[in-house]
Amino acid sequence: MIFDDYWPGSTETCIWKNVIGMLTEAASVREASPVYIEPNELQASGKGLSEYEKSINFPLPWPGGWWRLGDIVKLEIESTLSTIKTASLLKNDILKFRNDICRREVEKGKSQPPYYYVAPAQQVDQSELIALVELMKEQGINTFRLTADYTLSGINLKSGDIVYPLAQPFRAFLKEVMEKQEFPVRHYSPGGEIIRPYDVTSWSLPLHRGLESHEIKIRDETFEAKLKPVTGIYYPLKQGYKLPAVFPASSNGSFKAAFIAMQNGMIVDRLTSEIKIDGKVYGKGSFIIQGNNNDLLNSIVKESLTEPGLVRDPGKIPVTNVKMPRIALVETYFSDMDAGWTRYLFDSYKLPYTILHPDEFEKTDLTASFDVVIFPSTAKALLLNGKPGTETSPSMSNYHPDYQKGMGKKGLEKLMIFVNNGGKVISWGQSTDLFTGILEFTIGETKEEFMLPFTNIADQARKEGLNVPGSLVRLQLKSDHPLTWGMPAETNVFYRGNPLFNTTIPRFDMDRRVIGAFPEKEILVSGYCEKEEKLSEKPAMIRIKKGKGDLILYSFSPQFRASTQATYKLLFNALFPIPDE
């Protein structure tokens, strides 16, 4: 067994819902072409299979030979038919088994803490609360609203707050996605090497979404009597909103509202000072949308899940106008997962973009075509050379040569000219390595060589014991900055230990500002991290000026698998022009 029950992804959460679940995988072939495997090439690795030998959990080792796509299909068919046959023969036993577990989970929820999770109705990001409620209902979680103010476990709860009692059949799932994750440290042998996770170790929905949530460890039947089931679609917003309208910068939905409005020809501005309307404060970066189509506005409100305020005299409010940025989203031909998730995010937020492959840089007039070029997390070797592996040790690919082309030296040079002339690059994760080391470009007869004022020290930190497989960590942000508009002073980010930035004193026409950095201590929030002190006070989000342009670099993933809603705004803010500092 490779995956354990710590990670819910291996069975798509079904074992948390009292359903027997199994994940089957098979060794791949060359896309669809057969491969021949010699016996000495068969190896074992990882937990569950320490050596390639017959054992109690490996009763029939494959001897080697030809391995075909048909063998993979046959394996999956046999696994499926075996499951169906077992379910048929043991139908009553399996159904009773599941029913018994459901009953047991309900009783646990009445006798073992925690007893409730409460998400206050008043959140910094209203759109994410609405999305969470609908997601949990979709997952079969019984959801309730508090009908009156109530104090429980020293917490003053308000009427309208969302309550999840744990006395329900899917208690295990509810608890798993609402609490913070603490990876259980186990060893291969007593006192021996730790069985370390290699993938995601955090998935707490409130923490990832930036929502306030209370875990209540005291049961109160009087409190339970004040709960009312949430039925139908949870949509606490009103109708009849009018233009001009202001959408708070603190809501992810406000960015969706702005993107939709711009695509429909409406005027969109951002506040450069906070204002108060009807007792509510709208911070810097909040969007003011103007036009004469109130029906469109109400459609935007419904789509964005964000309630706007009415602006009575927009001419007296300090704003800066914003336009839809022309975005190039860089995507390689190599199963570019992170680029795919970025496309999904942009599509969900109605944000238009153009796919730009690395081999197209050399022939593309970047300045004439785009305002922003975005590099999701992709290996430098793939971007630069079109080869998997590393820049110094590329590996071979089975792809057609037409799909093994990188941007090359000339493409990278054109990108840096784009920046120098006023363009913007946004990059995170592995792709930030593209901008390390000596860079150059030639304009006319003038050749310029330079190094941007940052380095990646992740390799050294890893050698010294840093291990962050995929965890939620604390990030302290620079307040009152256009890149952090709508964000709290501290947030949680999804981080995998590489890159790890250091900045350097800039030279010539360059500058740098640290926008976000890890705190001094107590860095881990949810998941697993070894030697977290290696992250202490290190930069994690940097703005670099080069010539007239900008590079916005993140060591973390601001949109990891579309599941880190708390940091979407750090990406969306970067799409708009940033004044000089």
DSSP code per residue over 354-366:
EEE-GGGTTT--H
The answer to whether residue 268 scores a pLDDT higher than 70 is yes
The answer to whether residue 8 scores a pLDDT higher than 80 is no
The answer to whether residue 402 scores a pLDDT higher than 80 is yes
In the chain, what percentage of residues exceed pLDDT 70? Answer: 98
- Does residue 427 lie within any of the structural domains? yes
Let me know whether 65 and 200 are in one domain. Answer: no
| 330 band by pLDDT with thresholds 50, 70 and 90 | very high
Q: How far apart are CA 196 and CA 193, in angstroms?
A: 9
- Identify the domain boundary among 287, 321, 355: 321
Let me know whether 314 and 346 are in one domain. Answer: no
Let me know whether 159 and 59 are in one domain. Answer: no
Q: Please tell me the least confidently modeled range out of 150-154, 384-388, 536-540.
A: 384-388
- Identify the domain boundary among 321, 345, 361: 321
Domains in the chain: how many in total? 4
Query: DSSP assignment, residue 267?
Result: E
Closest CA to 258 of 578, 573, 47: 573
Task: Determine the pLDDT at residue 447.
Answer: 93
The answer to whether residue 49 scores a pLDDT higher than 90 is no
- Does residue 160 lie within any of the structural domains? yes
Task: Determine the pLDDT at residue 65.
Answer: 97
For residues 471-485, average pLDDT? 98
Mean of all residue pLDDT scores within the chain = 95
At position 226, the amino acid (one-letter code) is: K
Residue 564, phi then psi, degrees to nearest 5: -120, 65
Let me know whether 252 and 168 are in one domain. Answer: no
Residue range of the domain that includes 432: 327-456+498-514+540-574
Closest CA to 532 of 543, 514, 553, 518: 518
**Contact (CB, 8 A) for 439 and 426:** no
Let me know whether 84 and 125 are in one domain. Answer: no
Task: Determine the pLDDT at residue 360.
Answer: 98
For residues 286-299, average pLDDT? 97
**The pTM is what?**
0.94
| 1 band by pLDDT with thresholds 50, 70 and 90 | very low
303 CB burial (10 A radius; 0-12, 13-18, 19+): middle
Let me know whether 340 and 258 are in one domain. Answer: no
What is the distance in angstroms between the CA of the first residue and the CA of the last residue of the chain? Answer: 54
Per-residue H/E/C for 55-71: ECCECCCCCCEEECHHH
**pLDDT single digits (tens) 352-363:** 999 999 999 999
Task: Determine the pLDDT at residue 3.
Answer: 58
Let me know whether 301 and 355 are in one domain. Answer: no
- Does residue 256 lie within any of the structural domains? yes
The answer to whether residue 2 scores a pLDDT higher than 60 is no
- Does residue 466 lie within any of the structural domains? no
- Does residue 433 lie within any of the structural domains? yes
Residue 485, phi then psi, degrees to nearest 5: -55, 135
| 4 band by pLDDT with thresholds 50, 70 and 90 | low
